Amino acid sequence: MSFGRLPGTRPARAIGDINVTPLVDVVLVLLVIFIVSAPLMARQMALELPAEKTATPAPAAASVVTLELDTRSGLRWNGEVVPEAALPDRLREAAQRDPATELQLRADASLPYGRVLAIIGAAQAAGLRRVGFTARQPASPR
């Protein structure tokens, strides 16, 4: 006497095919997750420097170097246009002259944050430990 089967029925065969429906569901969920998260990972950090509202200059440090980053004119080292290839040498010379030299960056708001970060890294690699950001002068009303 056997339990669980009707008399005269054949034993059940094993299913030879793989059910791909759960696999397709998982793949589609992963695809949606990647589509949603991809734009979030590629977003750049916005670097909006404040415009100066008062005309009070900051107290001068012992040795200050101003580096301006602009999309049009490139790099300006204390007002002098410098090629980007010469920047590491200038940073190294400034650090050797005075290790307490302060590098003041004045970066354009439209520059990618990665470029500003690369210049900060180059300054630290050259031995400059004091790096700060300065604001642009406001346009004079006419």
pLDDT in tens, 94-138: 889 888 888 888 888 777 888 888 888 988 898 888 888 887 665
Q: Domain range spanning residue 129?
A: 64-133
**pLDDT band for position 70 (50/70/90)?**
confident
pLDDT at 60 over 60: no
Is residue 23 a part of any domain in this protein? no
Give the separation between CA 75 and CA 78, rounded to whole angstroms.
10
- Is pTM beyond 0.75 here? no
Q: What mean pLDDT comes out for the span 74-92?
A: 86
Q: Which residue has the higher pLDDT, 142 or 8?
A: 8
Is 58 a domain residue? no
Phi, psi of 18 (to 5 degrees): -90, 135
What CATH code is carried by the domain that includes residue 121?
3.30.420.270
How many domains is the chain built from?
1
Average model confidence (pLDDT) for the chain? 79
Asked if 113 and 124 count as a contact pair (C-beta separation under 8 A), the reply is: no
User: In Å, how far are 5, 95, 97, 129 from 90, measured between CA atoms?
Assistant: 89, 9, 11, 15
- 84 assigned to some structural domain: yes
CA 63, CA 93: separation in Å to the nearest integer? 13
